[in-house]
């Protein structure tokens, strides 16, 4: 699997053929073993690798300046792998290709590392269904950057309650009441920016005042 991940070999079968003598078992046995792998060990390997590599990066001076000083910036995004072309026997009569599992991946730009992953075996699952798992890792001082799939109001409210911050693209379905009108802030490389204050009601009933930015 390591050879496939690091693109030394194009597939598990190719990796097996290159080392069949050292493996000492059949390719069928290897395939059966991989089918029994759970998602939790895969996520644990990512976290453990990040914990091992981050101090090494700092030791050799490879850490980058924070995008926003004073915050531990983390970017979370979902995978968008297309349906697979090879068909299982059970799916050969189905027109749609088999979907791979979903996952949310956490990237920390200061270290240049993927520090966490939240896998899901259901290829039809929405990214927001994994937000609860992400929330368990949110700590005070974090700044989470995400797209609109990570914009359910309970997720935003819980991030705030944990003493963390977020920059998340607003989902059209997010209920929010305008507190102030849009105020121009000027122009940046990608367009004009304006800001306003909006008020949202959390699932628990609390009121959350947010800063909304619009870019045109």
Q: Where are the domains of the chain?
A: 1-35, 38-83+98-169, 175-216
DSSP 139: -
Q: Where do runs of H (alpha helix) occur along 78-167?
A: 131-135, 153-161
Chain segment 202-216, per-residue pLDDT in tens: 666 677 888 999 998
CA–CA distance, 79 with 2 (Å, rounded to integer): 20
- pLDDT of 71 reads 95
Whole-structure pTM value:
0.76
Measuring CA to CA, which residue among 45, 177, 63, 188 is closest to residue 117?
45
Residue-wise pLDDT for 22-67, tens only, equals: 888 888 888 888 777 788 888 998 999 999 999 999 999 999 998 9
> So what's the pLDDT on residue 3?
84
What is the pLDDT of the chain when averaged over all its residues?
85
The predicted pLDDT at position 88 comes to: 60
pLDDT at position 213, please? 92
Residue-wise pLDDT for 84-143, tens only, equals 555 566 666 665 556 667 889 999 999 999 999 998 887 777 878 888 899 999 999 999
Which residues partner with 192 through β-bridges?
187
- The whole-number average pLDDT for the span 142-162 is 89
Q: How far is CA 40 from CA 29, 61, 104, 121, 124, in A?
A: 22, 32, 13, 11, 19
192 has pLDDT over 90 = yes
User: Which residues are within 8 A (CB) of 167 and not within 5 positions of it... i.e. 6 or more apart?
Assistant: 143, 144, 145, 146
What are the Cα distances from residue 97, in Å, to 91, 93, 190? 8, 10, 37
Q: What is the pLDDT of residue 87?
A: 54
Give dist(CA 207, CA 199) in Å, integer. 7
Instruction: State both tokens at 47.
Output: 């976290």
What would the CATH number be for the domain defined by 38-83+98-169?
3.30.420
SS3 148: helix
- Helix or strand holding residue 116 (H, E): strand 113-120
CA distances to 31, 92, 128, 187, 195 from 28, in Å: 5, 21, 36, 60, 59
> In the prediction, which pLDDT does 202 show?
67
Q: Which of 32-41, 54-63, 158-167, 188-197 has the lowest mean pLDDT?
A: 32-41
């Amino acid at each position: 699997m390591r050879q496939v991940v690091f693109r030394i070999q194009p597939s598990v079968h190719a990796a097996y053929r290159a080392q069949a003598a050292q493996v000492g078992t059949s390719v069928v046995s290897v395939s059966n073993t991989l089918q029994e792998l759970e998602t939790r060990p895969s996520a644990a390997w990512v976290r453990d690798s990040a914990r091992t590599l981050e101090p090494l990066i700092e030791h050799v001076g490879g850490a980058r300046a924070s995008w926003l000083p004073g915050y531990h910036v983390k970017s979370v995004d979902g995978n968008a792998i297309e349906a697979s072309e090879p068909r299982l026997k059970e799916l050969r009569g189905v027109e749609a290709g088999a979907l791979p599992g979903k996952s949310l991946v956490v990237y920390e730009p200061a270290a240049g590392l993927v520090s966490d992953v939240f896998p899901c075996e259901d290829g039809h699952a929405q990214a927001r269904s994994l937000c609860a798992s992400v929330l368990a890792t949110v700590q005070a001082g974090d700044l989470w950057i995400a797209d609109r799939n990570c914009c359910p109001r309970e997720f935003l409210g819980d991030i705030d309650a944990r003493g963390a911050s977020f920059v998340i693209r607003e989902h059209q379905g997010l209920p929010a009441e305008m507190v102030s009108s849009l105020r121009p802030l000027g122009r940046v490389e990608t367009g004009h920016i304006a800001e306003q204050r909006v008020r949202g009601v959390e699932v628990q009933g609390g009121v959350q005042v947010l800063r909304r930015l619009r870019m045109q």
